[in-house]
Amino acid sequence: MTKTEEYKRMAAEAAVEAVKPGMVVGLGTGSTANYAITRLAKLLKSGELTDIVGIPSSVPTNDLASSLGIPLSTFADHAKIDITIDGADEVDPDLNLIKGGGGALLQEKILAQASLRVVIIVDEGKLSDKLGTRFPLPVEVVPFGLHTEKRFLEGLGAKVTLRENVIAKPFRTDHRNLILDADFGPIEDVRALAEKLEHRAGVVEHGLFLGIATEVVVGGKNGITRLKKNG
């Protein structure tokens, strides 16, 4: 295991400590979130944790959690989520995030907005002074609007790439949409950019998660650091 993977695992296991019996838990998507899911399953199997249900943010997360024996549910039965644990691609000092590297940004944002608490888990390499410094911004678009939304993003100053899957075909989200990875470089005004994207009919969702994280758990060479809103 590389140091980065070890830091991810450390952060995930520290975040899972917040899960208590009886909770509804939002399950994120991606390599870091998978460490949290694996830890939850281990605690359930050992009996150290009981009586929880998970709501997955993607088909891969659903499949992993099911294979590990985590009971799953939906919003039809649970209007609110007690805690969501998820990863992020980039985190700024105000705990704003870029997410969507795993392609599940729409459902991840739905989960987060329905959660009483959102705990983000990252390795220390995901921290930056400004969003966009380390990672392009994923933008989910409907296929019909692919070319017009690509030009729109380019008009805002981004270098835009259509995301592909492992066989070099366009990546499709769980809802069969496409993802444009928009490299803006360091974003000076994340809220202004988010507002522009939210007014575009062809944009289903964007990967700017602003004011959503309750806490960010960071794994690094010095152990675990917890970053919280308002210090």
Do 151 and 158 contact (CB within 8 A), yes or no? no
CA distances from 24 to 34, 72, 79, 84, 212 (A): 17, 9, 10, 9, 18
- Residue 123 phi/psi, 5° resolution? -90, 160
Is 108 marked active-site?
A: yes
Partners of 56 in the β-ladder: 27
| 13, 90, 108, 149: the active-site residue | 108
Task: Dig out the tokens for 127 from the structure.
Answer: 């921290």
Report the amino acid identity of residue 114: A
Q: Which residues are catalytic?
A: 108
